[in-house]
Structure 1
Amino acid sequence: MIIDFHTHVFPDKIAQRTLQALQSPPDVVPHTDGTISVILDSMKEAGIDKSVILPVNTRPGQFDTITKFAKHINDTYDNLISFGGIHPDDEEIEDKLRYLKDNGFKGIKLHPDYTGTFIDDERYIRIIAEAKRLGLLVMTHSGKDPKYDIIHCPPEKGAVMLDRIEELVPDTKPNMIFAHLGGNYQLDEVEKYLVGRQCYIDISCSFSDLWHYSTSTDEDIVRVIKNHGADKMLFATDSPWNDQKETVERFKNLKGLSDTEKEMILGKNAEQLLALS
C-alpha cells in the first residue's frame, strides 16, 4: 500500500482562486487543479492507495466551514482521509478538538507561517498538548515557505515545542509530524534539532529536482531517514505542488534504502499511525 501523507484539495467552486492565492512566487506551479476529482485521477496514475488531505485554517472563524468540507471527504471517499484544521486564535480549542475526535478525524494540520505564530507559542502548545491527550495526530509545516520571509516553525523551535509537550503529556508515543523533511531549506538544523527525536518526519518537497525550493540531495534524504529511523518517516508529496507519480518514482529509485525501509515509508508507517491495519 502507498499512502501520500501530505496533500491538499479544496471545494470545486473555490479551488482555482485558492491555488492562485497560494501561488507565490509565480514559478510555483500546481500540478493539479486542487479538486477532489483530479487528485483521485492523480492517485490512480501514481499507484497511490490513499491520500491524507490537510486543510489550513488561515484565520479564526473558519473552523466550521473547513470541518464541514473535511467531514464530507471522510464520509464520501474511502481513499481520502482528511485531517481537521484549527487556528491558534480560535476560541474553545478543547471543545473543537474533542468534536474532531468524536467525529472520527485522525489528526489536525497546523501552518505556523499562515497564522503568523511560532510553533513554540503557548497557543500552539495548548493545541498540540490537547491533541496528544485525545490521541490526535498533528502535522505542521516546517521550515521555509516560499510566500514568507519569516520561518515560524524552524527545527530549533520545533524541538522546544517537543520538550514542552513531553513535559505536559509524558507519553512516549509520538503524535507530531514535521513536514518537508523536517524543514525546507534547513537541513542542518533538522539534523541538529529533530533527527532522532520522538516525532515523525514526512518527505514532501525534499527532492530538489522536482521542487526547486528544496536544496536536499538524494544522499541527504537517505541520511536523514537512516539517522532518524525509517519507522518514523512518512511518504508525502504536498500535491498539488508536486506531482504524485513523479514523487513515487523518485522515492522508489532512491539508492541506499532497503526494500523493507521503502515499504515502511511508502505505507506501513502511515497504516499504523492511521490505524488502518
Structure 2
Amino acid sequence: MNYRIIDCHTHVYPDKIATKAVESIGHFYDIPMELDGTVNTLLNISRQAGVDQCLIHGVAVDALHVRHINDFVIATVQAHPDRLMGFGTLHPDMEDPGKELDRMLRAGLCGVKLHPDMQKFSLGEARTDRLFAVCEGVCPMLFHTGDKRYQYSNPALIPPIMKKHPHLTLICAHFGGYSEWDDAVKCLADENVYVDSSSSFFMLGKERVRELIDLYGADRVLFGSDYPMWQMKAEKETLLSLGLPENDLQKIFSGNLLHLLGKE
C-alpha cells in the first residue's frame, strides 16, 4: 500500500461543547457514539489507524451560526494543516451565501457540507437552489443523503439539482442514501455525483457494500468514517477486506477526493 489514505467524512467540535454535541447526534440517530468528537481524539485515532489526513465538516443548524461554525473549522484546519482539510457550511436562510463561500475558501477551506435533516430544509426547496448556484463550478458540496424518517435529503431530489446545475460536483454521503440504498443507486447516475462510505458498513454486509461499489464504480466512491460515530481503523479495515483491486482502493482512499478537489 503506497498511497495516501484520507478520511473524507469527519466531524469535530470545540472541547467545551463536544460532549453535548456528540450526545445530541447519538440521540438524533439513536446510535451509541464510539468517540468524543474532539480534535485531539481525531488526530490520535487517525494516526493509529494509518490515515494520513481527515476532512472535517461544519454544519450550522440555522443561518445565525454559519460564520461562527466556519470560523471554528478554519481555525482547526489552520492549526493542523498537514493533517486536516475542511468543508465549511452554508444555510439557505443566510443573507449572502456567495460572500461567505468566498470568505471560507480564501481562508483555506475547500468545499461545503450540508445536512438537510439537521438543518431542516429540503434539497428540493427553491430557497436552497442559490446555495447550489454559488458552489457550481467553484467547489464541491457534500450532503448527508437519505433517511427513511425524513424527506429533506431523499436521493430522488438529486437528479433535478444536477439537471439545473450540470457543473456542480456533489458528494452524497452514506453511499448516497442512508437506509435508502436501492433508490440511491437508481438516482445518482451523474458522473459529477460521488458517494462516500460513511455510516453504512454497520447496516450493510460486506457483500452488499462490494455490490454498491461495483454499481457506482470505484471512480465515484470515497472513504469516510463519520467520526465520532465509528472507529476509523475498523472502517478502514472493512474496506480493505472487500477484496477490491489495489487500483480501486487507491481511488477510494484518496485518489477520487484529491481529483475532485484539484489536489492531484
TM-score range, shorter chain: over 0.9
1:114 deviates by 1.1
Q: Secondary structure at 2:134's aligned position in 1? A: helix
Alignment map for 1:188-199 (pairs within 5 Å)? 188-195=182-189, 197-199=191-193
Counterparts of 1:60 and 1:202 in 2: how far apart (Å)? 26
Q: Secondary structure at 1:32's aligned position in 2? A: coil
1:87 deviates by 1.2
* Bigger mean CA deviation after superposition, 257-266 or 124-133: 124-133
Counterparts of 2:189 and 2:25 in 1: how far apart (Å)? 29
1:66 deviates by 0.9
Q: Among 169, 191, 195, which residue is 1:175 paired with?
A: 169
- Aligned partner letter, 1:182: G
- 1:82 is matched with which residue? 86
1:223 paired with 2:205, answer no
1:251 paired with 2:239, answer yes
Runs of 5+ unmatched residues, structure 1: 209-213
- 2:201 is matched with which residue? 207
* Bigger mean CA deviation after superposition, 21-30 or 108-117: 21-30
Q: Secondary structure at 2:136's aligned position in 1? A: helix
- 2:21 is matched with which residue? 18
1:46 paired with 2:49, answer yes
1:143 deviates by 0.7
- Aligned partner letter, 1:274: L
* Bigger mean CA deviation after superposition, 222-231 or 184-193: 222-231
For the aligned residue pairs, the C-alpha RMSD in angstroms reads 1.7
Q: Provide closer, same or farther for how the CA distance between residues 37 and 94 of structure 1 changes in structure 2, counting only shifts above 3 A.
A: same
Counterparts of 1:27 and 1:273 in 2: how far apart (Å)? 33
Q: Among 31, 36, 39, which residue is 1:33 paired with?
A: 36
1:269 deviates by 1.3
Q: Secondary structure at 2:207's aligned position in 1? A: helix
- Aligned partner letter, 1:89: D
- 1:270 is matched with which residue? 257
Q: Provide closer, same or farther for how the CA distance between residues 196 and 137 of structure 1 changes in structure 2, counting only shifts above 3 A.
A: closer
1:204 deviates by 0.6
Q: Secondary structure at 1:84's aligned position in 2? A: strand
Give the fraction of aligned pairs with identical amino acids, expressed as a percent.
29
Contact 1:138 1:176 in 2 (8 A): yes
Counterparts of 2:132 and 2:180 in 1: how far apart (Å)? 23
- 1:184 is matched with which residue? 178
1:109 paired with 2:97, answer no
- Aligned partner letter, 2:241: N
1:144 deviates by 1.1
TM-score, structure 2 as length reference? 0.93
Counterparts of 1:195 and 1:74 in 2: how far apart (Å)? 32
1:99 deviates by 1.4
1:197 deviates by 4.2
Q: Secondary structure at 1:83's aligned position in 2? A: strand
Report Cα offsets for 1:92-119 as digits up to 9, x if no partner: 1121112122222200100111122111
- Aligned partner letter, 1:74: V
Q: Secondary structure at 1:69's aligned position in 2? A: helix
Counterparts of 1:44 and 1:105 in 2: how far apart (Å)? 22
TM-score, structure 1 as length reference? 0.89
- 1:241 is matched with which residue? 229
Contact 1:7 1:238 in 2 (8 A): yes
Counterparts of 1:132 and 1:71 in 2: how far apart (Å)? 21
1:259 deviates by 1.3
Q: Provide closer, same or farther for how the CA distance between residues 138 and 156 of structure 1 changes in structure 2, counting only shifts above 3 A.
A: same
Q: Secondary structure at 1:236's aligned position in 2? A: coil
1:4 paired with 2:7, answer yes
Report Cα offsets for 1:58-90 as digits up to 9, x if no partner: 011112211211111121102111211111111
* Bigger mean CA deviation after superposition, 26-35 or 87-96: 26-35
